[in-house]
Amino acid sequence: MSQARSGGGLSLKQRRMIAGGSIGTLMEYYDYYLYGLASAAVFPTVFFPQDDKVVAQLASFATFAVGFFLRPVGGIVFGYIGDRMGRKTTLMITVIGMGLATAAIGLIPPEKSIGLAAPILLLFFRMCQGFFVGGEMGGAATMVVEHAPAGKHGLYGAFLITGAGVANVVSAGLMAGLGLGPSSWFMTWGWRIPFLLALVLAVIAILLRRKLEESADFVETRAVQTQAGVKNRPLIETFRHPKNAILGILIGLPQSIAGYVVLTFGIAYLVNSKNIPAWEGFAGTVIVGVLQVFVAPAYGALSDRIGRRTVYIGGCVAFALLVWPAFLLFGTGNLLLIWLGMVMGFVIPGVAMQGTLQTMLVEMFDPEARTTGVNIGYQISNTLGGGLAPFICTALFAAASRQIWPVVVYSAVICAIGAIATASASISTNGERLHKLAGVQDAAAATTGTTANVPAN
């Protein structure tokens, strides 16, 4: 990444890029946290009424998982757009799509009104939601990190996860507040309000993003390619050196499951196994979100000092160790201890991973394939990890006669995979390229008889 940037204060342009990137991440996490909360406590009753609560819960979490399967598709499509046409184009399309898909979910009539059409519509709009979300993180992370001052990539990349914390607070806060009213009203109308508010977030995002500018990294790389007559092929460039493309997927697995194990499955565990009112779990998620707003930048700044690899691996180890104590606290049924379990299980280890992952992924790919590379690693890991985590945890819990130890083992195995992959990745933290820009030297030599000056590690 360009080394022309100073390590001093942010310019107006840089602040605009960070705000524009963060609002989209806020929407991404708002949509997914909101759907996760609703799939744990609302959708089993509204869209999948069954005599067997476990079957209804599994059906609800299955739709939650399906949305993730469209994320890699969206990641590839919007990664191509971002690396060929610019990050701004991608970021404008994704926020509009996310807002419309999420609001549409809030308008679906219940199963008792339109029968099978209700869960089918839920599934369709969940898939749309996943497709547009798939292109968000790659564009946003690339935009923010490419504009961040040298030596502060981790800090400013972590502001994206601050946006996620705000999303946590808003989505869970709305669900908790609305859930305090009459249960019949909440299950009929109240839960829909937060979904409809996604349209407001989309409008705010459009206003913030309309003045975004492309980074020097993107402009300079495209200029060199154009001058040499080389066509940029982001997907091919991503897998021209497949090591980081594959490792990026494995690295992202632990951070992808952390919130969905502790918060999404955790709330379903509290509601269905401990008979805890859903609003208590939602309120705990609000506390987690507030802490996430401040803890994520702290972890990002720490990664600038001691390395992203060190912070991320530390988060993997901590999550593997803290899942069991977190669920032991859930089992007490004590409200304060339940909230402490959420903080212990997610804020300490999960935010350490989330706060450093997007910056680390950006630094694992060169500008011509950066958006695509980040999207592939982030979205496929979220599909295989986070998307399936609540379903897998519910199935493991039921198969083990409602014991939590299989969930702990599952989490520990995923953390081990992520830690080993992180230790093996190639990361550029000083702005230098990881690989030579494909085809540019040959094209320049053929036309001018000289070799283009394209740096490489």
Burial letters 229-240, b for 16+ CB under 10 A, else e = ebebbbbebbbe
- How far is it, in rounded angstroms, from Cα 23 to Cα 91? 10
Is 291 in contact with 168 (CB distance < 8 Å)? no
* H/E element, 223: helix 216-228
Query: In sequence order, what DSSP letters do the residues of 296-336 get, joined into one string?
Result: HHHHHHHHHHH-HHHHHHHHHHHHHHHHHHHHHHHHT--HH
Fold of 12-210+240-431: Growth Hormone; Chain: A; (1.20.1250)
Please report, in tens digits, the pLDDT of each residue of the chain (457 residues total): 544 444 456 677 767 777 777 787 788 888 878 888 888 888 998 998 876 778 888 888 888 888 888 888 988 898 888 887 777 888 889 889 999 999 999 999 999 999 999 999 999 999 999 899 888 887 888 888 887 888 889 998 998 888 888 888 888 888 888 888 888 898 999 999 999 999 998 998 888 888 777 767 777 777 887 777 777 777 787 888 889 999 999 999 999 999 889 988 898 888 888 888 878 888 888 899 899 999 999 999 999 999 999 999 999 999 999 999 999 999 898 999 999 999 999 999 999 999 999 999 999 988 878 888 888 888 899 888 887 888 899 999 999 988 999 999 999 999 999 999 999 998 887 777 877 776 665 554 444 444 344 444 3
- How far is it, in rounded angstroms, from Cα 321 to Cα 19? 35
Give the domain ranges of the chain: 12-210+240-431
